Structure 1
Amino acid sequence: MEEAAWPPGTLLGRLRASARERLLSVGVRRSVKEAQVLLREGALESHVILLDDALVKVTVSLSDGRHALLAIRVSGDIVGEISALNGTPRTATVTTCRPSIIRIIHRNAFRAVLHDNPEAALEMAGIVADRLRWANRRRIDFTSYPVRVRLARVLWELAVAYGRRSPRGLIIDIRLTQDELATLCGAAEISLQKALGGLRADGIVATGYREIVVRDGKALRSIADLD
């Protein structure tokens, strides 16, 4: 990918060219299909995966057999870093949302890059801190806001981070089930359906096959209490 194509919040987007090229060079490039599991929760392995041209979802298993969606990761992001840094089993499952290109980096190579490039180590620490901050904010949202507000916040975050503009609005064409969207919002699926139906009835969003369209971003931000 071109340097300018890496989203600024991702690891590759944060690094200078020399550190970025070093990290890319130690990865084994692979093409993978849609719906392929890249990392599996509980597995005893320690490599990391750099998303070269990819879109993946991060999920965890719940006690009732369902799966909770924790995050979406995009090109330039890294996944699997916790196991590589502290040697613990995988904490989540990572699955591709579309055909993707990834780079597999073994633990020793990854740690060597961080050791030899203090900038890369600092940026990696910053990403871990950002993800922890995001998780803490999400917990506050769960306890402080009704489902409609939580849904609006999640949809706005997804639209800004991963949406593509069209005459219809901001299109979120990530394959997410309503159950996954509900767990991302911290809501029961029936409550999620009601809240989503309300946003549709108000003309703020539209839904279709494998996509959600944000038709009125200003109204969605207002409901999300982000103004």
Structure 2
Amino acid sequence: MPLPDAAFPTDWLAEENLAEWRRHCPSARILHLPDKALLYRQGEECPYVFMLGRGIVKISCLTEQGNEWTVALLRSGDILGRLQGQTIEKTMPETARTLGEAAVVRLDLDEFVRLMSEQTRLLWQVVGTQYARRRQAERKLIDMLAKPVEIRVLEMLKELAEWFGKRCTHGYALEIRLTQQELADLVGASRPVVSTVMNDLRSRSLLDYTRELICVKDDLFDYPDKPAPLFSG
């Protein structure tokens, strides 16, 4: 008997929901993962689908030169893994690792496909997740062509604060270990240029950061969309 749409769990990590899922997906497992845990690696096969219930997962690609490029940060509610189905491409085009501690529900691909045929809400969530990631990639490409680096950094910091920030005295604390290189990858710029922008924002009291924490201050959200250049050249 299919699990009714109305009963589709919103709290993926709840034990009572997992027990219900296992009636239809015996492979379902909750995985509590440490920082930098590997979910799957670029160029290798992955027989699973992962539903991110808590934490952050970093999606990255390895270039031909051997450099890692951070493509996206996924948050609670996102779905990742072998979503290409039974296509010719069997290996994963990207690598997925946790950024800090995280918890996921892992499902076997065949069981997940069968569950989607029974669960229209889940099907639409998968479609929505993939559409959002495609739109994000398209917007990133357009922004790289049309917007200066300082604007892209400002917009990314605002997004990160809204997605992953916790309220603090001065604004939002990003309790994720995000390096300047990873931030540079996300906005499509070089690390030295992003470092210059970050330092300038800190000098203007719009941002504060250490190796462990980034604080996006409330004043940054009121910063004009087209500020004067933060640096020349």
RMSD value, Cα: 2.2
The total of aligned residue pairs comes to 210
Secondary structure of 2:8's counterpart equals helix
Query: Deviations for 1:44-81, whole angstroms, at most 9, x for unmatched residues?
Result: 12311112223211111123322111111122221114
Q: CA deviation at 1:132?
A: 0.7
Secondary structure of 2:177's counterpart equals coil
Alignment check: 8 A CA contact 1:67 1:180 kept: no
Counterpart mapping for 1:48-197 below 5 A: 48-84=49-85, 86=87, 88-197=90-199
Structure 1 portions without partners, runs of 5+? 1-15
Identity fraction in percent: 24
Query: Deviations for 1:163-190, whole angstroms, at most 9, x for unmatched residues?
Result: 1101121111211111111111111111
Q: CA deviation at 1:208?
A: 1.2
**Other-structure match for 1:222:** 225
- Between the aligned partners of 1:17 and 1:53, the Cα distance in structure 2 is 22
Query: Deviations for 1:85-125, whole angstroms, at most 9, x for unmatched residues?
Result: 64531121111112222221010111011111223212311
- Between the aligned partners of 1:103 and 1:39, the Cα distance in structure 2 is 14
- Between the aligned partners of 1:92 and 1:115, the Cα distance in structure 2 is 26
Structure 2 CA distance for partners of 1:103 and 1:123, relative to 1, 3 Å: closer
Moved more, 140-149 or 169-178: 169-178
Q: CA deviation at 1:82?
A: 2.7
- Between the aligned partners of 2:178 and 2:190, the Cα distance in structure 1 is 15
**Other-structure match for 2:12:** none
Q: CA deviation at 1:191?
A: 0.8
Counterpart mapping for 1:198-217 below 5 A: 198-215=200-217, 216-217=219-220
Question: What letter matches 2:192 in structure 1?
Answer: I
User: 4+ runs of 1 displaced by more than 6 Å?
Assistant: none
Higher helix share: 1
Structure 2 portions without partners, runs of 5+? 10-16, 228-233
Structure 2 CA distance for partners of 1:17 and 1:200, relative to 1, 3 Å: farther
Q: CA deviation at 1:223?
A: 5.0
Larger Rg: 2
Secondary structure of 2:112's counterpart equals helix
Could you state the TM-score of these two structures normalised by the residue count of structure 2? 0.82
Q: CA deviation at 1:28?
A: 0.9
Alignment check: 8 A CA contact 1:172 1:212 kept: yes
